[in-house]
Amino acid sequence: MRRGAIVRIAALGIAIAILVTLVAVLIQWLPTSASKQMDRIEFVYWFATAISIGIFSLVMAVLIYSVITFRSPPDDESDGPSIHGHSGLEILWTVVPAILVIAVGVLSAVVLSQNGRAGTNPLTIKVIGQQFTFRFVYPDNGGIRSGELVLPVDRNITFKLSSLDVIHSFWVPAMGQQEDMVPGLDTSIVVTPTRTGIFPLICTELCGLGHATMRAQVRVLSQPDFAAWVKQQQAGGSKGVSGAAVFTSAGCGGCHAFTPAGTNGAIGPNLDRVAVDAKRVGEGTAAYVRESIIAPNKVIAPGYAPNVMPQNFGSTLTAKEIDALVTYLTTKQ
């Protein structure tokens, strides 16, 4: 091969590499990392991306150079020269990719194992998935229940995941880790938040009509702020059950619009109009609301489908919580 050709291919390769690197770096493809685990996952991404840029640039440079240099004139109908092959080159392009793929595999395995380690004394939080909401229970903090996921920064947290109905999936994009929530199976995942702020938690398993609305807020607080939040929640818990708190923690707003709660879900009937709906079927408002929570299939409001609302709120909520919820839904209008 001529020296001029090698120089030209190298120049072409460097130009392509610069261009592709700019596309990789200038566009924000991933959310800014908010956890130790995401930092490690990003490292794997960049490692694989760097390898891909190298290989892509080399292949494209040789291809473009060949297409331009060796193209035949329009009137050339003759066969090309017969070439047997090049054993050295074939060994090279088999061995080098094999080494690179093994390197990516080993690095991924190391990161996967590191990301699964909770260390000593992790904070355990139970996450319960249900069509179409997430609920959070804090067994290490007196069993606080919350509809918002509040976390302390710089602490290893083990999430114990479960589902009451179908398969859901727990994913906080900024924190990288993702795990399915499977009915009848206890799965878990470790996250160590590294910065405070508000992040979305998203269900990433197609779980029914309201799948797209199955989201929750993750709020990462400093450790003193988290301790204060825990205290405040525990104090609230001993004062009796608030209907507004049950509405939030049971995830009603994911499917229902209710002005006092500021929710606008449209999967289920608008709860601002429960009195009208009750009258239509000739029931008292409170009795109608209670029945709709415990046995939602008994009366289906026109325009809505049966079996969308979970059938098990009668067993997942306590009697006190149902009472509070009924009061909240019937007296605020």
Does 255 interact with ligand CUA (rule: CB under 6 A)?
no
Residues in contact with ligand CUA, shown as a per-residue x/- string from 138 to 177 under the rule CB under 6 A: ------------------------------x---------
- State in angstroms the smallest separation of the CB of 207 from ligand CUA: 3
CA–CA distance, 26 with 14 (Å, rounded to integer): 18
Residue with tokens 């995941």: 161
How far is Cα 59 from Cα 53, in angstroms, rounded to an integer? 10
214 touches ligand CUA by CB under 6 A: yes
Distance in Å, CB of 134 to ligand CUA, minimum: 8
Q: Pseudo-torsion of CA 295, 297, 299, 303, nearest 10°?
A: 140
Q: Which stretch binds ligand CUA (CB under 6 A): 2-10, 93-101, 143-151, 200-208?
A: 200-208
Q: How far is the CB of 166 from ligand CUA (least distance, A)?
A: 7
- H or E segment at 237? helix 223-238
Is the Cβ of residue 162 or residue 285 nearer to ligand CUA in the bound state? 162
211 binds ligand CUA (CB under 6 A): yes
3-state secondary structure 252-290: HHHCCEEHHHCEECCCCCCHHHHHHHHHHCCCCHHHHHH
Output the DSSP codes for 140-177: GGTTEEESSEEEETT--EEEEEEESSS-EEEE-GGG--
Q: Is 201 in the site for ligand CUA (CB under 6 A)?
A: no
The single residue among 205, 261, 268, 324 that binds ligand CUA, judged by CB under 6 A, is 205
Burial 200-221 (b: 16+ CB within 10 A, else e): ebbbebebbebbebbebebbbb
Q: What is the DSSP letter of 212?
A: G
Continuous segment of H or E residues that includes residue 239 = none
CB-nearer residue toward ligand CUA: 8 or 215? 215
Instruction: Provide, rounded to whole angstroms, the least separation between the CB of residue 202 and ligand CUA.
Output: 8
Residue 135 near ligand CUA by CB under 6 A: no
- How many whole angstroms separate alpha carbon 311 and alpha carbon 305? 13
Distances (CA, A) of 78 to 70, 72, 83, 122, 270: 14, 9, 15, 73, 76
Q: Of 182-190, 199-207, 229-237, 320-328, which part binds ligand CUA (CB under 6 A)?
A: 199-207
By C-beta, is 169 or 330 nearer to ligand CUA? 169
Residue 207 interacting with ligand CUA (CB under 6 A): yes
**Closer of 69 and 307 to ligand CUA (Cβ):** 307
Closest CB to ligand CUA among residues 156, 204: 204
Which tokens is 235 given? 């104090």
- The verdict on 203 binding ligand CUA (CB under 6 A) reads yes
Site residues (vs ligand CUA, CB under 6 A) = 129, 132, 168, 203, 205-207, 211, 214
